[in-house]
Amino acid sequence: MDTAISGTLAAPPLVDPYGRHVAYLRVSVTDRCDFRCVYCMSEHMTFLPKADVLSLEELDSLCTAFVRRGVRKLRITGGEPLVRRDIMWLFNRLGRHLDGGGLDELTLTTNASQLDRHAAGLFAAGVRRVNVSLDTLDPDKFARITRWGRLEQVLRGIDSAVSAGLAVKINAVALRGVNDDEIHDLVSWCGGRGFDLTFIEVMPLGELGDGNSGEMRLDQYWPLSMVRAELRKRWTLEDSDHATGGPARYMRVAETGGRIGFITPMTHNFCEACNRVRLTCTGTLYMCLGQEDAADLRGPLRSGSERLLMEAIDEAIGRKPEGHDFVIDRRRAQPAVSRHMSVTGG
């Protein structure tokens, strides 16, 4: 089916009901992943049928429509985006918006399992930095957290990214009783390699397969206020005005010169300046990570009508909420949002 959009209609910027200019689109190109991280998904996942997933050409058309509406940053996510077949075709296509000045940044979040073979191609496509999800530097602990992953493979991917010229930022989920004894090691390792490091609080998204996701996540949950307090025992943390367009608030580590970011959806809502929306591989647009409300863009896209697609995008942005409703406590056994992070995109 030909879903190409001509791009002839006027394309005003996207502004939500709270006056926030939507300039950042995160695109989940697949819900599939080669890991099964314990805080993210069940070990035995049921993934979307391939027939429900947009083609790479359709994803290109939707991304292009958002770029025309003022989106300046595209982040490709998953699942694990690099496990999608022929994914480099999409990166190469989207890179044309960098060349044309319509896009400031094309980047991705990855577990780095496939970076070894794709790093050079990503740089050639215009990607200049990647976020790598890495919660531990201990091989045995890494295997327990990811269930299926091998730390050696991830570290090799990170080395390949650096060799290709990509800047690397490490994302680590703070897990009480799991990696709470490693945060100083992570700061030291990232500082020594010139990597920014961001700590993230556990988010109540999706069932984990144990029958009590709420209690399991409460057991994992480690507030970043406590992480900062622990870090200050060894490191001098200085205020920083560094920003990447995402939700992290950064501090500088005086001893290493590196930066540490903190993403705190639970202890400090990061919604007030949110300029992001999320597109899934089925063409569903989520205006908020922590809300169920969504809009179908697949239908308007496949209609071939640019007017219908733009109207659908406008209607969706008009429903973007002021903030999310994340809660973790023992009285709520169910996750705040039923879908897994791999569906919406990290």
pTM for the predicted model, two decimal places = 0.87
Q: Which of 268, 179, 267 is nearest to 220 (CA)?
A: 179
Topology, domain 24-344:
TIM Barrel (3.20.20)
pLDDT in tens, 186-237: 999 999 999 999 999 987 654 545 544 444 556 778 899 999 999 999 999 9
Residue 157 to residues 110, 148, 152, 168, 219: CA-CA distances in angstroms?
A: 10, 16, 9, 11, 31
CA–centroid distance for 21 within its chain:
19
pLDDT in tens, 16-67: 999 999 999 999 999 999 999 888 888 888 889 988 999 999 999 999 999 9
pLDDT in tens, 248-294: 889 999 999 999 999 986 545 557 778 999 999 999 999 997 788 99
Q: How many other C-beta atoms lie within 10 A of the C-beta of residue 278?
A: 22
Residue ranges per domain, the chain? Answer: 24-344
